[in-house]
Structure 1
Amino acid sequence: MQVTETLNEGLKRGYAITVTAAELEAKVNEKLTEAQPEIEMKGFRKGKVPMALLKKQFGQRVLGEAMQEAIDGAMNEHFEKSGDRPAAQPEVKMTNDDWKEGDDVAVEMTYEKLPEIPEVDLSGVKLEKLVVKADDEQVNETLESLAKNAQDFDAREEGAAAEDGDQIVFDFLGKVDGEAFEGGAAEDYPMVLGSNSFIPGFEEQLVGVKAGEEKDVTVSFPEEYGAEHLAGKEAVFECKIKEVKAPKAAEIDDELAKKYGAEDLEGLKTQIRERLEADYANTARQVTKRKLLDALDGLVSFDLPPSLVEAEAKQIAHQLWHEDNPEVQGHDHGEIETTEEHTKLAERRVRLGLLLAEIGNKAEVEVTDQEMTQAVMAQARQYPGQERQFFEFIQQNPQMQQQLRAPIFEDKVVDHIVDQAEVTEKEISKDELKEAVDALEEEIA
C-alpha cells in the first residue's frame, strides 16, 4: 500500500492511496479462509467447500468488502502516523474509473485538518462576576402575583352585573341548526370572563349579565375546530346565569404559603428570594460567559478550516433570515447569501468552538449519561404525549445527540476556565443587570 501527499496548502491536505492487487487478493483469501469453516454448500460438508469454489461464489462480494476495509485501514493508519484530525469527513474517491479485477486500486483522499491550538494561560484571564440580591420589594411583588394567581371569588351584591374578570356560574345548552350536540351542555359551570377558555366571542357576550338571567349566545366554531362536524358552524348556547362572583386575591399569610408548599409565610419568602437570586445568577452567568469568550477570542489566533467557517456562516445567515421573515415557516425558500458580517461572526464562533473543545479535551471534561438524560427529558417535555417517540428518535440519531451534548460540554468547559481565572464579585441591582444584558444583545445585533 502506498500513500503519497498531493496537496499541502494551509489546512488542506490531499493524498493518493494505492492498494495493490496482491494486497486485495490476500485480504480476500484471508476473509474467505476465516469464513470457510461455517459455510455449507450442496455436495460438500460444512467447512469443506473448496477455496476455488468459494471464490467463484462469494469472491465479488468479499472483494468489495476487502477493498473498503483496505482503504479505511490506510486512512486510519495515515491519521495515526500524521496526527492529523480531519475537520469533517474526508472526501474519498477512486481515480481509476476503469478499474477491473486484478488491477491496483487508486484512491484520492482530501480533507481539511484541524489546526494546532496554542496553549492559553487561563490564570491570566480576569473576570467580573455580577451578583444581584433580591430586595424586599421584589419579594413582595412576587408574593402579590402569587396571591393573585391563588385568587378566590366572592358573590357580588344581588343584581350586580358581571364584569370582565368576574366568575359566573351557569348552565348552558348548545345547539346547531336547532339540535343539541354532544359535549355542548353543562350545569353549574364556573367560567372567568376574559379567560378565553371558550369559543372566541362567547365570553364577551356574557359581560353585563346578572344572576337569575337567561341569555342566548350566538357564536361560530372556528374553521379549524377539532370536531369536524362543528367546524365553521354557527351555534346558539342557551345560558342560565346562577351566580356572579368578583375576584378576590388570596390573603398574603401562612395559608397562602401552604398552598405553594411552604410551611409558613417566612418560608415562602425565603423560597421566593432564593428563586429570584438563582434566576439573576443564571442571567449574570450569561454576561460573564460572554465576557470570557471575548477575552479568549483576543488571546488566541490560528488558521481556521474554511469549510467549517463557510458552513457556520450559512447557518448564521439562514437563522437571521428567518428572524427577519417570521412568516416563512418552512425551508423551501431560495438560497440565502452570506455577507462579510456573517463570515466574521462565523470565524469567531469556529475559533472559540475549537479552543473550548481543545481546553475541554485536555482537562478531560465529559458530559455524563445523567446530564444527557436530563437534557433529553427537558426537550421531550416540548412534545407532550410523544415523549417515548422523542427518546427513541434521539437514541437513533447521533447528530441530535451531539446537538444536545455540545452546549452542556461548552458550559462545563466555561466553568472549568472560570475556576482557574481571576474572578472578582461585583454586586449590582436588577436594573443594572438588565442594562448589561441589553448591552450584550445590542453588540450581537
Structure 2
Amino acid sequence: MQVTETLNEGLKRGYTITVTADELAAKVDEKLVEAQPEIEMKGFRKGKVPMALLKKQFGQRLLGESMQDAVDGAMEQHFKDSGDRPAMQPEVKMTNDEWKEGDDVVVSLNYEALPVIELPALDGVTLEKLVVKAEDSAVQEALENLAKSAQNFDDKDGAAEDGDQVTMDFVGTIDGEAFEGGAAEDFPLVLGSGQFIPGFEEQLVGVKAGDSKDATVSFPDDYGAEHLAGKEAVFACTIKAVKAPAEAAIDDDLAKQFGAEDLDALKAQIAERLEAEYGQASRAVLKRGLLDALDEAVSFDLPPSLVDAESKQIAHQLWHDANKEDTAETDHSHGEIERSEESDKLAVRRVKLGLLLAEVGQKAEIEVSDQEMTQAVIAQARQYPGQEREFFEFIQKNQQMQQQLRAPLFEDKVVDHILEQVTVTEKEVSKDELQKAVETLEDDAS
C-alpha cells in the first residue's frame, strides 16, 4: 500500500492511496480463512469447504468489503502517522473508474487539516466581574408584581365589566337539546380572558348578581369536538356573583399563596432569585470579556470550509432576524442566502474561538459527564409538559441533538477552567449598569 502526497497548501491536504491487486487479494483470502470454520455447504462438513470453492462463491462480495477495509485502514494509519485531524469529513474518491478485478485500487484523499494551536499565556489577563445586590426597591417591585398576578376579586354591586369575575351556573343547548360538557355550576369566568367561545364573554358585560342571561354563540368550524363544530348554541346563564379585580395585600397571606412561610421568607426568596438572575447576566458579560481577550491573544490559520459553513449559517440566521415580521420562524422556503461581510467576520471569530476552546478542553481533559447531560435533558424536557418521555426518547435516538446539548455544557466548563487561570476582579454596580452592559453585548452580536 502506498500513500503519496499531492497537495500541501496552508491547511489543504491531498493524497493518493494505492492498494495493489495482490494486497487486495490477500485481504479477501484473510476474510475467507477467518470465515471458513463456520461455513457449511452441501457435500462438505462444516469448516471443510475448499478455499477455491469459497472464493468462487463469496469472493466477489468480499472484494468490495476488502477494498473498503484497505482504504479505511490506510486513512486511519495516515492520520495516526501525520497527526492531522480533518476539519470536516474528508473527500474520498476512487480515481480509476474503469477498475476491474486484478487492477490496483487508486483512491484520492482530500481534506482540510485542523491547525496547530498554541495556547496563549493567561497569567496577564485581567477581567472585571460585575456584581449586583438585590436592592430593596427591586424586591418591592417584584412583590407588587406578584400581588397584581395574585388575581384577587372583591364583590361589587354594579354591572360586570371587562376584567371582572362573574360566577355563574350555565346550561348549553343546541336546537333545544342539552349537550355533553355544556353545563357547569359556580363557574368563575373573568370577562375578557378569552376562556370561552368567541362572543360569549362579551354578552355577559353588564350583568349583575341575580340576573339570568341567554348567550347565543356559534362554535368555530375547526372546533375540537366534531359534533359541536360550526353549530349554534344557546347558554342559559344564572349570575350568582360579580366581583371586581383587587390587588392582593403584600402580607403573610400573599407569601403563603406563593409557597413561602411568611412575607420575610418571600422577600428572601425574591432577593435570592434576583441575584441569581443578575449572576447569569454578569457571567455573560464576563464570558464575553474573556472571549474578546482570547480572540485578541491568538492567531492561527482557519480551515476555509469551516468558516464558509459557519458564515452561511450566520447569514441565514441574520436574514431571518431581519425578515421575521414577514416570514414564519420555521419557513425555509426562501432561496439561498448569500454570505456577507458581516457574516464572514462573525464566522471567523466563532470558528477561531471554537477551535481554541476545543483545544483547551482537550488538553485539560475536560469532559461532560452523563449526569450533566441528564440534567441538561431534564431542563429541556420541562419545556414540553406532558411530553417529557417522548422528548427523552427523541434525544436518546438523535446524536445531533445530543451534540447540541453537550456543546454549550462543554464550552462553559472550558470557560470556567480558563477563568481559574486569569485574574478576575469584582466591581459592584447597579442593576441599570448591568443591564446596559448586557444590552451592549446584544448590540455587538447583532
How far the C-alpha of 1:149 sits from its partner, in A, is 2.8
TM-score (norm 2): 0.95
Tell me which moved more, 373-382 or 61-70: 373-382
| 1:415 is aligned to 2:404 | no
Distance 2:216 2:251 in 1: 43
Instruction: Give the partner amino acid of 2:19.
Output: V
Closer, same or farther in 2 for the Cα pair 1:123/1:222, shift >3 Å? farther
Give the corresponding residue for 1:108.
108
- Segment drifting more, 309-318 vs 34-43: 34-43
Measure how far apart 1:140 and its partner are. Answer: 1.4
Cα displacement string for residues 316-357 of structure 1 (whole angstroms, at most 9, x for unaligned residues): 111121222222332222111111111111111101111111
Q: CA deviation at 1:143?
A: 1.7
d(CA) in 2 for partners of 1:381, 1:55:
58
Does the C-alpha gap of structure 1 residues 387 and 220 become closer, same or farther in structure 2, counting only changes over 3 Å? same
The letter for the 2-side match of 1:143 is: L
Give me the whole-angstrom Cα distance separating, in 2, the residues matched to 1:322 and 1:240: 51
Letter in 1 for 2:131: V
Aligned partner of 2:8 in structure 1 is 8
- CA distance in structure 2 between the partners assigned to 1:123 and 1:234 by the alignment: 76
The answer to whether structure 1 residue 296 and structure 2 residue 297 are counterparts is no
Instruction: Identify the residue that residue 383 of structure 1 maps to in structure 2.
Output: 384
Amino acid at match of 1:367: V
- Shift in Å at residue 17 of structure 1? 0.1
1:369 maps to amino acid: D
Pick from 239, 245, 248: which aligns with 1:247? 245
How far apart are the structure 1 equivalents of 2:438 and 2:114?
A: 34
Task: After TM superposition, give the deviation of residue 215 of structure 1 in Å.
Answer: 1.8
For the structure 1 residues 124 and 235, does the alpha-carbon distance in structure 2 shift closer, same or farther, using more than 3 Å as the test? farther
What is the letter of the counterpart of residue 172 of structure 1? Answer: F
Aligned pair 1:59/2:59, yes or no? yes
Matches within 5 A, 1:313-352: 313-326=311-324, 327-328=327-328, 329-352=330-353
Q: How does 1:369-408 map to 2 (within 5 A)?
A: 369-408=370-409
* Cα drift, residue 193 of structure 1: 1.9
Q: Does 1:73 align with 2:60?
A: no
Greater Cα offset, 19-28 or 245-254? 245-254
- The number of residue pairs the alignment matches comes to 443
**Which moved further from structure 2: 34-43 or 250-259?**
250-259
Compute the displacement of 1:177 (Å): 4.6
Aligned equivalent of 1:117: 117
The answer on 1:34 being equivalent to 2:34 is yes
| Structure 1 unaligned spans of 5+ | none
CA distance in 2, matches of 1:411, 1:150: 37
Worse-matched range after superposition: 212-221 or 171-180? 171-180
Structure 2: how far apart are the matches of 1:232 and 1:430?
Answer: 53
TM alignment of 1:200-215, pairs within 5 A: 200-215=198-213
Aligned to 2:187: 189
Paired amino acid for 2:345? K
Residue equivalent to 1:357: 358
Residues 222-264 of structure 1 show CA distances to partners (whole Å, capped at 9, x for unaligned) of: 3433223433444332222111122333332233323323222
| Aligned mates of 2:392, 2:414 — CA distance in 1 | 26
CA distance, structure 2, for counterparts of residue 219 and residue 292 of structure 1: 61
Deviation at 1:44, TM superposition (A): 1.5
Distance (Å, rounded) in 2 between the aligned partners of 1:441 and 1:56: 68
Q: CA RMSD in A?
A: 1.7
TM-score calculated relative to the size of structure 1: 0.95
- CA–CA distance in 1 between the matches of 2:333 and 2:230? 31
Distance 2:307 2:404 in 1: 18
Q: Counterpart of 1:122 in 2: which secondary structure?
A: coil
Quote the offset at 1:163 in angstroms.
2.5
Amino acid at match of 2:427: K
* Partner Cα separation in structure 2 for residue 289 and residue 255 of structure 1: 41
Provide the rounded CA distance (Å) in 2 between the counterparts of 1:304 and 1:223: 57
Taking a change above 3 Å as real, the CA distance of residues 442 and 17 of structure 1, as seen in their structure-2 partners, is same
Aligned partner of 1:262 in structure 2 is: 260
The 5 A counterparts of 1:221-236 are: 221-236=219-234
Query: 1-side partners of 2:428 and 2:217: how far apart?
Result: 56
Shift of 1:415: 1.2
The CA deviation at 1:192 is 1.6
Query: How far apart, CA to CA, are the structure 2 residues paired with 1:383 and 1:43?
Result: 62
Q: CA deviation at 1:185?
A: 1.8
Q: Please, which runs of 5 or more residues in structure 2 have no aligned partner? A: none
- 1:23 and 1:179 mapped to 2: Cα distance? 86
Separation (CA, whole Å) in 1 of partners of 2:198 and 2:63: 69
| Residues in 2 aligned to 1:266 and 1:419: alpha-carbon distance in whole angstroms | 36
What SS does the corresponding residue of 1:420 show, helix, strand or coil?
Answer: coil
- Percent of aligned pairs with the same residue? 74
Deviation at 1:210, TM superposition (A): 0.4
